[in-house]
Amino acid sequence: MDVGNLELGILFLAQTGVGIFGNFFLFCFYSFSLLTGYKVKPTDLILNQLVLANSLVLLSKGITQTIVAFRWKYFLDDAGCKLIFYFHRVGTGVSIRTVCLLNGFQAIKLNPSICRWIYFRIKSLKFLGFCCFLCWVLHLLINLFIAILVSGPLNSKNSTVENNYEYCSWIKPDSQLSVYTVLYYSPDLLSLVFMAWASGSMVLVLHRHKQRVQHIHSHTHSSGPSHEARATRTILILVISFAAFYFVYTILTIWMTLVAHPGQWNVNISVFVASCFPSFSPFVLILSDARISQLCFAYRAETI
């Protein structure tokens, strides 16, 4: 194993390990909150789905690419390749839809006039649970086409298999599949447009609110941001980071899908970018959730 592959393997291992740890911690925390009712918030259900989707992305591609970086090839058969790519696509799709749902939830909460019917529904965990369930079902169904495009590396003798990713092969699509690829990414583009609109709406509402109560804050000497402002800031950080990482990942994925022999370096970059948000987002949520810091301080006080 050369030094470059060793460093790459350590990089993927660190990224995947840290991301899985952060998401597992949040999954346990949100599950505990939902099951016990400990200071439960409606967004806990949405965020619990987000960490599940992030974990699925890391477990599918992150671990696989780490193994490849350590030069262990051909460890997956045809069925294994199809499952790895399938669950990665499902996790990525659920992640973008969950960020979209979280963004829309906060926008409607700040400005109920957007849709008053949904404003009263989003307070119900059953309604949010149905939205989360529908999100998983839709992505489990629309990603079934992966079984057509992906095959094991040992099947690359077929002339239609153009892109070899060392552990799996990706069939170069014909004109019809190329159209399907464009149609497949169209909902993602619409989701990004919706997130941009919802984020702009939240910023505008908070800006107007700040102007209206500025004189009140000056009299009460309250310089800290409100709870809603902190929650919105956290969601905006998640949205902006997700949009940036996903945009780069989508460009790389479309290019590698339509172009033969993209090169292993491009594959590594694509997987690394795809795993950035799942590894980065849980720590944004951990640092911004006051309940977690309260639990940590309470535990520290008991041990002293």
Condensed to tens digits (0 to 9), the pLDDT of residues 247-292 reads 888 888 777 766 656 666 777 888 888 889 999 999 999 988 888 8
Q: Is residue 287 part of a domain?
A: yes
Q: Is residue 83 part of a domain?
A: yes
Contact 88, 119 (CB under 8 A): no
Contact 246, 277 (CB under 8 A): yes
Q: Is residue 259 part of a domain?
A: yes
Residue 268's domain comprises 3-153+162-209+226-303
Residues of the chain with pLDDT under 50: 155-162, 221-224
Would you state the pLDDT for residue 52? 95
Would you state the pLDDT for residue 262? 60
Query: Could you tell me the CATH number of the domain that includes residue 168?
Result: 1.20.1070.10
Q: Is residue 99 part of a domain?
A: yes
Would you state the pLDDT for residue 91? 92
Would you state the pLDDT for residue 19? 93
Q: Is residue 216 part of a domain?
A: no
Could you read off the pLDDT of 168-192 as tens digits, one per residue? 776 655 555 556 666 677 788 888 8
Q: Is residue 214 part of a domain?
A: no
Would you state the pLDDT for residue 213? 63
Would you state the pLDDT for residue 223? 45
Q: Is residue 215 part of a domain?
A: no
Q: Is residue 220 part of a domain?
A: no
Please give the tally of structural domains in the chain.
1
The SS3 of residue 163 is strand
Q: How far is CA 72 from CA 66, 67, 143, 216, 276, in A?
A: 9, 6, 27, 63, 23
d(CA 54, CA 212): 39
Would you state the pLDDT for residue 134? 92
Would you state the pLDDT for residue 222? 45
Would you state the pLDDT for residue 221? 46
